[in-house]
Structure 1
Amino acid sequence: MRFLYLILCVLFFSCYSTTRNCSDFKTGKFYSEVTINGKLYKSNFYRNENVQVETYNNKIDSSKLRWINDCEVIFKTINPKNRAERKDVHLKILTTTDSSYTYEYSYVGETKKQKGIAYKAN
């Protein structure tokens, strides 16, 4: 009985795979939702291969992009106004659907990561 259970578990979990079509999200218009300490933050952004322009709370931020691979990118703020904005941000796409992706991000070199979801905007 245990052997049958073990085989069923292996078959079930081996069929599960995470979809990551990251190249579908390298360029375009998107909006993002991140929950931090129970508060939802939303932003809109446009991205091409080299630059991302984001609007949050009627404030526009621009970052240079350096793609590590199709699913990971480093953001460097173009005109940082304070020390926090000088820190580069590492973003990794974890999963994708046809219209969204789930990601995690952190300052480069830090272990604390946040998660969010970005959606294609029409």
Structure 2
Amino acid sequence: MKNFYWLCAFLLLTSCFEVERNCSDFKTGEFEFNYTIDGVQKTGRFVRTDTLNIDYYEEQIDTSTVRWINDCEFILKKLNPTTNAEKEEIHMKILTTEGSTSYTFEYKLAVKKPNRPLRIERGTAYRIKK
């Protein structure tokens, strides 16, 4: 019985936790993030406006349109895709924010392909400029 009270107290205290999500603070700006390719850690940078997302990585520039679903979710679509894979839209979701300095996100294909597992990736973007 004593364990039951401890369990109830624990659940009561942990259920009140709410994740900070001030997504509108991150709709525009210049950001940086780290990613790994073939075991090598690299840094990418992107600039997001209300309607465009410009990626700078490995000496390449890539531009996508941004279509906001709500304050925390948007769809990216490449402006000039060169392969069929690049033609697919990406669904981005801001999961948590840290003040106005960084946010944690996840991304996946906007449309799930039949007979393929859904691959969801996560990362953290850090604000460089507002």
TM-score (norm. length: structure 1): 0.91
Label 1:105 to 1:36 Cα distance change in 2 as closer, same or farther (>3 A).
Answer: farther
Quote the offset at 1:36 in angstroms: 6.3
- Corresponding residue for residue 119 of structure 1: 126
Asked if residue 106 in structure 1 is aligned to residue 108 in structure 2, the reply is yes
Letter in 2 for 1:85: E
For structure 1, the 5+ residue unaligned runs are none
Q: Is the contact between residue 34 and residue 117 of structure 1 (CA under 8 Å) also seen in structure 2?
A: no
TM-score (norm. length: structure 2): 0.86
Q: Paired residues, what number?
A: 122
| Whole-angstrom distance in 2 between the partners of 1:12 and 1:39 | 41
| Whole-angstrom distance in 2 between the partners of 1:18 and 1:105 | 19
Q: Is the contact between residue 35 and residue 116 of structure 1 (CA under 8 Å) also seen in structure 2?
A: no
Q: Is the contact between residue 89 and residue 111 of structure 2 (CA under 8 Å) also seen in structure 1?
A: no
For structure 2, the 5+ residue unaligned runs are 113-117
CA RMSD of aligned residues (A): 1.6
- Corresponding residue for residue 27 of structure 1: 28
Identity of aligned residues (%): 42
